[in-house]
Amino acid sequence: MRPLRLAALAAVAAGSLALGACGGRSPSGSSDVSVLVTRDSGAQRVGDAGPQPAAGGQTLLSLLRAGFDVRESGGRVQAIDGTPGPWRVFVNGVHETGDPAKAGVHAGDRIWWDAHRVDVPAVIGSYPEPFAHGRDGRRWPVRVECVRHGDKRSCDAIAKRLGESGILASQSLIGTEGGDENLRVLVGPWSAMRGDRAARLVDLGPRASGVAARFSDDGRSLALLDAGGHVVRTLGPGSGLIAATAFDDQPPTWFITGTDAAGVASAVRAFDEGTLADRFALAVGDDRGIPLPLRSPGTD
């Protein structure tokens, strides 16, 4: 399998090395916890703390206070290390909607605070979470769902990648009834999965799904959006997307998808921890990773 030629490869590699050198994220399979603080959907790093052992009585807010200068008002985090919000927090890649002063911390949690304005229910940048530890100390069953008459090699490749991280996943066809407790990974061209209840949220736009990308009606092109939902760039055939969202209160649904079989294959090649780290979502064009949302033209 040839390596993915990521855009700004040197910067990504440097970031990965920095994480390994100074702590940053907990290693895969670790019971330690970590705290990452960024802004603008992961585009700018404010700081990180960890890995460190989980301790009884910790909350998301107390752990943040222990590693950062936190300014609060009315029970809300206003600024972290001098960086203003609005601040939102993800636990293992899932948006925490409860009070962070009451939400407990569990072994293995990857906690990620980010300053952004649009609600985002799930992100991919804490991989292998939420597959490894789930939420609230409970792992979800993982199911890789494949398109009917699709390229089974892509589906098998994703299941193998998960297995290499110690995650056992069952396989089924997209749309197979299996209850609402599975953490699902949908693999295949977008045109074949857009009838899924979670995929429909993506088609409705980022305010519904939190995903800053939208496929054309025929699924053959992929519009890349800024944080406000405006189209900045459009990719054609052979383009891929890795993203996550959540339907109601169910576990997240992940998408390894694309405009066609070639696009799906490019997304499969990008599915690894180093490539996904600190990304809300990732488009893939010409085998180059493109972090989403994009910055609007003319922004600093």
Number of domains in the chain: 2
In the chain, where do the E strands start and end? 33-39, 44-52, 70-73, 76-80, 83-84, 87-91, 94-95, 110-115, 142-146, 169-173, 183-189, 213-215, 222-225, 231-235, 240-245, 253-258, 281-285, 288-292
| Exposed/middle/buried for residue 214 (C-beta within 10 Å: 0-12, 13-18, 19+) | buried
281 and 152 assigned to the same domain: yes
**Residue at 184 is within a domain:** yes
Asked if residue 189 lies in contact with residue 258, where contact means CB atoms within 8 angstroms, the answer is yes
Q: What is the pLDDT of residue 206?
A: 95
Q: What is the pLDDT of residue 24?
A: 53
Q: 7: which DSSP letter?
A: T
Residue 119's identity, in one-letter code, is: D
**Residue at 130 is within a domain:** no
pLDDT in tens, the chain (300 residues): 333 433 333 333 333 323 233 335 666 667 899 999 999 999 999 999 978 888 888 999 999 999 999 999 888 999 999 999 999 999 999 999 999 999 999 999 999 999 999 999 999 999 999 999 999 999 999 999 998 876 789 999 999 999 999 999 999 998 776 668 899 999 999 999 999 999 999 999 999 999 999 999 999 999 999 999 999 999 999 999 999 999 888 999 999 999 999 999 999 999 999 999 999 999 999 999 999 999 887 665
In terms of residue numbers, what domain contains 249?
142-292
**Residue at 2 is within a domain:** no
89 and 184 assigned to the same domain: no
**Residue at 132 is within a domain:** no
- Which pTM was predicted? 0.89
Degrees (nearest 5) of the Cα angle 143, 147, 152?
Answer: 80
